[in-house]
Structure 1
Amino acid sequence: MSSTLKLSQRETAFNHEVVTRFELYNSLFQTLPFYQVKDTGILLPFFSSHCEKGTINQQSPKEIIESFFKKYVPGIDHQEQINRLFRFIQYIERQVVLFDAIEDSSFSKIGRADDSGSLQSLLQQAAISDEARKNISEKLKDFSLRLVLTAHPTQFYPGSVLGIMTDLIEALKTNDINSIDGLLQQLGKTPFFNKTSPTPVDEAVSLVWFLENIFYHAISGIQSKLEEEFDIDLAAKHQILELGFWPGGDRDGNPNVTTETTKEVAKFLRQIVFRCYYRDFRVLKRRITFRGFDDTLTKLENILYENAFNPSDDQADLQADILDKLQSVRQILISDHDSLFVDVVENLIRKVKLFGCYFATLDIRQDSRVLRKVFNYATEKPGIQENITDGYDGLDEAGKIESITFKDFDFKCPDDADSEIKDTLNTIRLMKQIQHSNGEKACQRFIISNCQQASDILQLIDLFLWSGWNADNLSVDFMPLFETVNDLTVAGEVMEKLYTHPFYKEHLAKRGNRQSIMLGFSDSTKDGGYLMANWSIYKAKVELTAIARKHEIDLAFFDGRGGPPARGGGKTHRFYASMGDEIANEHIQLTIQGQTVSSQYGSVETARFNMEQLINAGIVSELYPSKNDVLDKKNKALISEMAEASYKLFMDLRQHELFVEYLEKFSPLKLLSRINISSRPTKRNGNSKLKLEDLRAISFVTSWSQLKQNIPGFYGVGTALKKMKDEGHWAEIKLLYQTSGFFKTMLDNCMMSMSKSDFRVTAYLHDDKKFGAFWQMLKNEYDLTKAMMNELTGSDTLMPEYPVERRSIALRERVVLPLVIIQHYALQCLNSDNCEEGLTEIYDKLVIRTVYGIVNAGRNLA
């Protein structure tokens, strides 16, 4: 069957299962009365159509809104017009949920264009021969996949809405019209946003919903399939599937995360996993009703129930005890009861092995600048001071490394210390307590963001040795995070110093000679643009892999690339499948955040599919590496030249005198701090004037996406491609796109980002006296990039190989276009010289309310 025919079938299925059903249920949805405004749903199609026509004609948002009310609802005052806009927002943000639910319910029928990358295809390869099965089994002994949930607010649905979505998806699978109608009514009356900003604990609770309802089932299901099909040593400590968790542990730039927060989240994770076990145990108990089990089952039930519903403050790691009891039950079933219901027991054993008493590893993250401050503070204290060289802070890097002594000292931070200092030192102590109560894996990773030198890690180790830990039992992995273009350039040098440092070398040996290195994408994009970010990370990975192999280190890259394409996301499994043998790929670790959580892991079915694709990508790239995935010197030189050209253009843009002002004036940037979807401030140094370097990457990318310009996802790419063509390298670039998985994935994700851009929305700025030329500069690069992409792919449209995904994006953009117009209407009113006093707050609220729906609609996968 040809790929063209497959795509055609997928498009037909998409039209039938998604487009037609959305139109059907949307018409039902629009008849629901919200807040006694019964004609809102009737008016909405007219409003949507009016916005479309106005956008096509490049009218300003103000012209579109005012002409709509003049034509369709004449005679109402301005206040009532504003009320109607709020009602439209209320409907549209729920339409997005409906569209999400319909797409998810149709997942198995629509399938994916790249189904070949699933676990099923791995099983088919194993079926070819015993040798193939053996090879895959061997690779699985070393391979691991770790998904780390973060609280970065690139998507927002409260737990109550997620619950409705789950039920709605199930009802839609069978087209249960009565249930669907009731759920849509429930959806209409359920709040979509918080009146106050969530605390880090609130964020943890929200994401734990996915652990409890999705990952608990999906991961154990995949593990069961792997055990069934491949030769996996069930007694081995190596874990193929792992979960990580950042809410409550990630304090980088978030003053709301405290030691008490971390403690509370660790306890909550423990309690919820025990609740999951207890639910499974109730099923087990209903089946095992034979003699000889009463005492063991009673003890098990007491352990699980008490830890699930009456957790004590004095907790201990009970994983081994629970497993012993379950194994005892299993053995009796096998020996005395013909293995009846042994599969039920094995299912729970599998889950306890996977999730222990911790559910997901709680990572601790802090900025190196804070950690340096804490170190300097501690070195002034008696007992520590004697072990530090005078004038340490003024020494160069080599002097600092030579001076660090790694001597134990039990220093307790005084209560009057600075809050950051106190939090850091108390959290280091808390990590030991969490390991005792929940198990070592519960909290064993400390990530140093903005890591710039080897001493950043060695100084942190000293802080641990001064806070109740000792060198022989330092069960912690220290993980540098390199994210800016400059930090990525020096990453190899930093790691070489660590691998050759006597103390660190000994510490790594105790940790199985395994080193994890995190590479951030968002800040790289903000720092150097899309192409340079991708290329800097690629080069750093090649160099870091070579150094690790030289020192016989088992290297795991932890990629901060789990959001939209401009933040490193997109077709993530294709990215991993394209790693050549120059890059360590035995372990896949990546953050998943925002809309990626709900779009790729929002149901057990989609979560299994996407995790299986990542497993397939890692195994296949190791077993059957393509020679095209190793870039030769000539191709590296071409990409490097493109990255430099893109970087120069992006830096010129960043340094433009209107850059920050444009973003502040025409996007919701200034108001993001008032959108109650995150505990994290939108920028560092919160009380100071906005500077680009202080602006968080997430706020930076979100602001451009709200503008429908997505600059971080494409700016400079068109210029770089044109340079290649002008210099006579076009044939080589086309060949590279056709043969290199890395290069193709990078440009395909860029096209996905561009597909969510619409410069017609801001076309009214073309004639703006101050910003007109700046807007045109952005538009010119978009047009150039689109033209070069079309020429490269031989198509007249973006994403030519993904027609279903392209259609999905187009439909989503159509649904939220009225939100975009309302947002820019409010911004236009706020920016006008004659904005009426008293209306500023109302316009601010209009902007804020539109952000939710626009963000939620921008699903990563779509």
Structure 2
Amino acid sequence: MATNTRESRRQDLPEPLRRDVRLLGTMLGDGLVEYGGRELLDDVERLRHAVIGARRGEVDGADVTALVDGWTLERAEQVARAFTVYFHLTNLAEEHHRIRTLRERDVPGDGPVRGTVAAAAEEIRAAAGEAALAAAIDGLEFRPVFTAHPTEARRRAVVTAIQRISDLLAALNAGPGESEREDIERRLREEIDLLWRTALRRHAQMDPLDEVRTAMAAFDETIFRVVPQIYRTLDRAIDPDGVGARPPKARPYLRFGSWIGGDRDGNPFVTAQVTRDAVLIQADHVLRALQATCARIGRELTVHDTTTPASAELRNALAAARTAHPARLAEIAKRSPGEPHRQLLMYAAARIGATRSRDADLAYTSPDELLADLRVVQESLAAAGAARQAYGRVQHLIWQVETFGFHLAELEIRQHSELHAQALAEVRAGGERGEMTEEIIDTLRVVAWIQQRFGERAARRYIVSFTRSAEDMANVYELAASLGDRAPVLDVIPLFETGEDLENAVNVLDGMLEIPAVQERLAATGRRMEVMLGYSDSAKQLGPTSATLRLYDTQEALAAWAERNGVTLTLFHGRGGSLGRGGGPAGRAILAQAPGSVAGRFKVTEQGEVIFARYGHPQIARRHVEQVTNAVLLASTAAVEDRARAAADRFRPLADKISDAARTAFRSLIEADGFAEWFGRVSPLGEIGELRIGSRPARRKAARGLEDLRAIPWVFAWTQTRVNLPGWYGLGSGLAAVSGDGADLAELQEAYEAWPLFQSLLDNAEMSLAKSDRAIAERYLALGDRPELAETVLAEYDRTRALVLAVTGHERLLENRKVLSRAVELRNPYVDALSHLQLRALTALRAGVADEAERKRLEDLLLLSVNGVAAGLQNTG
């Protein structure tokens, strides 16, 4: 039965995807033979068949272990590399299929596609009318903030190699002629061979500026080009008539942020100089992009004065330019005679280039100055009757300038509250200051310099992690004020991370209203304020179930506080990519927020591998932003808020009981005597740092306990063990507690159907459970020589799995999510292969290895398998 079920899943694989996977897999197999002979491919195939047989119950797990243990370490490493490369290729094929599916959906039909901006607009229009839709769009904001949190396990050389393979696969699928096809296939084999021969792990530790440059790849390759397309989609949803031939009704609502080079909480490598350099790198990339785009549009805009006469304002602008730079304008006019619109755009492109090169005589002083020139061109074209030229590509450039400015993304600063208190004490005392105090003051000076160079939009948000009181905010304002008239303009943002801090959030905000600097900022911004909520640390402290409900309560309380105090509040969600850190489908997460807490505004961290998963390809990026926009618009409607509020009122007592029992179970486990040491033995926690996947240390302090362990390695290590504990532990005890306390299964099922929060909680746990494997997890847990802890974890796994299935009504995990279920089920056996290889290395290392060369080889095998499991599960931290 298991065999038939799995085979039916394989047959369920869409033919184009199956074709791509087969092609890439065959080419990899051929490459293995070329590299290591038929014996290498045979060993890979033996392990593949063994792990599939083990899942079917046809092969004993001990036989798989014996197979892996029988190889030399060199062979084991080669096999691990083969499976890792296979996952990179499979991920690529799946991405291509996602793009293929998006294209197939994006065709005229009976109505807008679900989850799109057009679908949200139609729903709002039908329910509340055009005025309500206009109001919703007018207040719309989406602020993705890229962070350098180390969750991207692939090195850049691997990412670029995969991109080259992706381009070739796209060319192959485009239907080339026979000779061209043969050449593409030859190049594909060449690139797959290169990927196989490339070291999959980084050779050197990343520094913060490496992380900045890595993030720039997503901007260069995707984001800059996609943003105007997203606005055009919104404009069409508002009014499909005359799109591109009338002034747009959509306004730019995307604002990108970045912590990369600004987040120094526990990262000693992020300095004031790094922050300065990060902004300069960002500016260089965006100015290059703006210059190239402006020059291209200028070259293409060949409308002649006889058909499209220039306005008086445009002629005046050209006259002023001739006065200031006669030789340059003469050269431009010589190349573009009778084409004044083209001339002004080419002059604007030259000025953008001068801005990048710091030629003060020619440079723009601000993005607003560039926008003024572009609007002169646009208005002149419109007045001359060339509406399509005015509101086509010129409008796209205007949107890009409005979105990115000259700084690309706002660089946000983050630092720990304790350090500000220490620094302020030293500043108040006068005299000699410590190194950290000087660094904090230097950072504030750099923020002031960034604002002078690029404007306040480029850097004014200062996030205080582990906020405990309003005094933590006041400390930062006072430190900034110590710079006198050179002080930067700051919006100091509290970050509430622990369970206690989330409960205390409203009291802190009440205190903030008493701070004169906060009052000044509220007056300057129209009473706008931002508050950040930390998902990772609260989940690590309370467990996933209780953290989810605590965050919901905090959102609800903060929304009510904002309404009482006339504050326009934006909640900043500090989510990770993994389910154990608040990750999961973005649209569902937004619709599960507390009523009133979205209000048209959504700000969220985009971390590590999530950046490239969501923004690495134009069509996927467009789809992701559309899904978020759709959810933000709908979550802010009265109908959705009322339904969620009614469900929360009805089922909250039930949820509280679940939360209490879940938290007790979770805390009981992690507070067990020796738990931290046990966790370190059963997982590759200590070795993960050797992957060099980020510049930031795994711990905030040198202590070895759980408290200062960052949430990313906590989640990453549990993922590697195939336990995935941070995504589900405690939920089973919570559900069991209410099931035995008078609440029958029917009530839980009603809560699942009616309450988006409860549905999201169970769906995410189900996804996490589906990526777990009990049999393999049992082997990892046994490494700790604490059978009572292992039994506790496995019993909770069994309990959670059974009760989640009972409440959702599913016969198997992910039964209602066909695409995801198919992907997970087909991948799991191959992940099993890497887990067995990792277990071989981890078991030997935990037992102790005297020979230095052998230990180094085991560590290499372990880290290679860690990389492969991350690729296979598509999750790190």
CA–CA distance in structure 2, aligned partners of residues 594 and 96 of structure 1: 18
1:612-637 CA deviation, whole Å, 9 max, x = no partner? Answer: 11111111122232533114445222
1:39-83 CA deviation, whole Å, 9 max, x = no partner? Answer: 43443222222244457779998863543575xxxxxxx7xx111
- 2:313 equivalent to 1:300: no
How is 1:537-556 mapped onto 2 (pairs within 5 angstroms)? Answer: 537-556=551-570
CA–CA distance in structure 2, aligned partners of residues 528 and 435 of structure 1: 39
CA–CA distance in structure 1, aligned partners of residues 124 and 258 of structure 2: 33
CA–CA distance in structure 2, aligned partners of residues 301 and 522 of structure 1: 44
CA–CA distance in structure 2, aligned partners of residues 127 and 237 of structure 1: 16
**1:839 partner SS:** helix
Give the structure 2 partner of residue 810 of structure 1. 825
One-letter amino acid matched to 1:840: R
Give the structure 2 partner of residue 107 of structure 1. 98
- 2:426 equivalent to 1:427: no
- 2:382 equivalent to 1:369: no
CA–CA distance in structure 1, aligned partners of residues 494 and 624 of structure 2: 27
**2:640 partner SS:** coil
1:373-419 CA deviation, whole Å, 9 max, x = no partner? Answer: 1111111117xxxxxxxxxxxxxxxxxxxxxxxxxxxxxxx7xx433
**2:270 partner SS:** coil
CA–CA distance in structure 1, aligned partners of residues 850 and 673 of structure 2: 26
Give the structure 1 partner of residue 791 of structure 2. 776
In structure 2, the CA distance between the partners of 1:325 and 1:158, relative to structure 1 (3 Å rule), is farther
Give the structure 2 partner of residue 75 of structure 1. none
Could you tell me whether the CA contact under 8 Å between 1:155 and 1:856 is conserved in 2? no
Gaps (5+ residues) in structure 1?
1-8, 71-77, 383-413
In structure 2, the CA distance between the partners of 1:198 and 1:837, relative to structure 1 (3 Å rule), is closer
Could you tell me whether the CA contact under 8 Å between 2:720 and 2:869 is conserved in 1? yes
CA–CA distance in structure 2, aligned partners of residues 769 and 12 of structure 1: 40
Could you tell me whether the CA contact under 8 Å between 2:221 and 2:616 is conserved in 1? no
1:176-203 CA deviation, whole Å, 9 max, x = no partner? Answer: 6525434423433444332111100001
Q: CA deviation at 1:658?
A: 3.4
Could you tell me whether the CA contact under 8 Å between 1:271 and 1:311 is conserved in 2? no
1:854 to 863, 869, 872: 869
Give the structure 2 partner of residue 380 of structure 1. 429
**1:241 partner SS:** coil
CA–CA distance in structure 1, aligned partners of residues 498 and 231 of structure 2: 36
CA–CA distance in structure 1, aligned partners of residues 865 and 282 of structure 2: 33
CA–CA distance in structure 1, aligned partners of residues 201 and 457 of structure 2: 34
CA–CA distance in structure 2, aligned partners of residues 459 and 846 of structure 1: 48
How is 1:530-679 mapped onto 2 (pairs within 5 angstroms)? Answer: 530-623=544-637, 624-630=639-645, 631-679=647-695
One-letter amino acid matched to 1:262: T
One-letter amino acid matched to 2:98: F
Give the structure 1 partner of residue 856 of structure 2. 841
Q: CA deviation at 1:29?
A: 1.7
1:297-337 CA deviation, whole Å, 9 max, x = no partner? Answer: 34322223344567899997531222122222223333447
- 2:747 equivalent to 1:732: yes
2:802 to 772, 787, 793: 787
- 2:268 equivalent to 1:255: yes
How is 1:84-123 mapped onto 2 (pairs within 5 angstroms)? Answer: 84-110=75-101, 116-123=114-121
Could you tell which deviates more after superposition, 796-805 or 710-719? 796-805
CA–CA distance in structure 2, aligned partners of residues 851 and 314 of structure 1: 52
Q: CA deviation at 1:285?
A: 2.7
Give the structure 1 partner of residue 834 of structure 2. 819
How is 1:34-49 mapped onto 2 (pairs within 5 angstroms)? Answer: 36-39=35-38, 40-49=40-49
Could you tell which deviates more after superposition, 265-274 or 494-503? 494-503
- 2:351 equivalent to 1:352: no
Could you tell which deviates more after superposition, 320-329 or 564-573? 320-329
CA–CA distance in structure 2, aligned partners of residues 753 and 167 of structure 1: 32
In structure 2, the CA distance between the partners of 1:278 and 1:43, relative to structure 1 (3 Å rule), is farther
How is 1:244-323 mapped onto 2 (pairs within 5 angstroms)? Answer: 244-289=257-302, 290=304, 291=338, 292-293=340-341, 295-308=343-356, 317-323=365-371
One-letter amino acid matched to 1:117: G
In structure 2, the CA distance between the partners of 1:767 and 1:430, relative to structure 1 (3 Å rule), is closer
CA–CA distance in structure 1, aligned partners of residues 359 and 191 of structure 2: 35
In structure 2, the CA distance between the partners of 1:311 and 1:642, relative to structure 1 (3 Å rule), is farther
CA–CA distance in structure 2, aligned partners of residues 161 and 766 of structure 1: 32
Could you tell which deviates more after superposition, 182-191 or 783-792? 182-191
**1:693 partner SS:** coil
CA–CA distance in structure 2, aligned partners of residues 830 and 234 of structure 1: 66
Could you tell which deviates more after superposition, 767-776 or 668-677? 767-776
Give the structure 1 partner of residue 380 of structure 2. 332
**2:719 partner SS:** helix
Could you tell me whether the CA contact under 8 Å between 2:352 and 2:364 is conserved in 1? no
- TM-score, length-normalised on structure 1? 0.87
One-letter amino acid matched to 1:793: T
Q: CA deviation at 1:30?
A: 1.5
One-letter amino acid matched to 2:632: G
CA–CA distance in structure 2, aligned partners of residues 769 and 593 of structure 1: 31
Query: What percentage of aligned pairs have identical amino acids?
Result: 24
Q: CA deviation at 1:769?
A: 8.8
Could you tell me whether the CA contact under 8 Å between 2:834 and 2:868 is conserved in 1? yes
Q: CA deviation at 1:826?
A: 0.4
CA–CA distance in structure 2, aligned partners of residues 50 and 560 of structure 1: 41
In structure 2, the CA distance between the partners of 1:674 and 1:277, relative to structure 1 (3 Å rule), is same
**2:572 partner SS:** strand
Q: CA deviation at 1:282?
A: 3.4
Gaps (5+ residues) in structure 2?
1-7, 106-111, 174-180, 305-337
Q: CA deviation at 1:725?
A: 0.8
**1:552 partner SS:** coil
**2:129 partner SS:** helix
CA–CA distance in structure 2, aligned partners of residues 861 and 161 of structure 1: 16
Give the structure 2 partner of residue 22 of structure 1. 21
1:141 to 133, 138, 160: 138
Could you tell me whether the CA contact under 8 Å between 1:153 and 1:677 is conserved in 2? yes
CA–CA distance in structure 2, aligned partners of residues 136 and 693 of structure 1: 46
CA–CA distance in structure 1, aligned partners of residues 361 and 870 of structure 2: 40
Give the structure 1 partner of residue 478 of structure 2. 462
1:682 to 692, 698, 702: 698
Superposition CA RMSD, Å: 3.1
- 2:195 equivalent to 1:187: yes
CA–CA distance in structure 2, aligned partners of residues 334 and 315 of structure 1: 27
**1:366 partner SS:** strand
**1:378 partner SS:** helix
CA–CA distance in structure 2, aligned partners of residues 781 and 649 of structure 1: 9
Q: CA deviation at 1:104?
A: 1.3
Matched residue count: 807
Could you tell me whether the CA contact under 8 Å between 1:600 and 1:861 is conserved in 2? no
One-letter amino acid matched to 1:158: R
Q: CA deviation at 1:845?
A: 1.9
In structure 2, the CA distance between the partners of 1:339 and 1:135, relative to structure 1 (3 Å rule), is same
Q: CA deviation at 1:28?
A: 1.8
1:793-849 CA deviation, whole Å, 9 max, x = no partner? Answer: 222211221121011122233333222211111010112256655422221222122
1:571-619 CA deviation, whole Å, 9 max, x = no partner? Answer: 2211212335343432101111123223232211111111111111111
- 2:722 equivalent to 1:717: no
Give the structure 1 partner of residue 314 of structure 2. none
CA–CA distance in structure 2, aligned partners of residues 792 and 29 of structure 1: 43
CA–CA distance in structure 1, aligned partners of residues 137 and 555 of structure 2: 22
- TM-score, length-normalised on structure 2? 0.86
Could you tell me whether the CA contact under 8 Å between 1:454 and 1:494 is conserved in 2? yes
Could you tell me whether the CA contact under 8 Å between 1:790 and 1:798 is conserved in 2? yes
Q: CA deviation at 1:295?
A: 4.9
Could you tell me whether the CA contact under 8 Å between 2:145 and 2:605 is conserved in 1? yes
Give the structure 2 partner of residue 212 of structure 1. 220
One-letter amino acid matched to 1:30: G
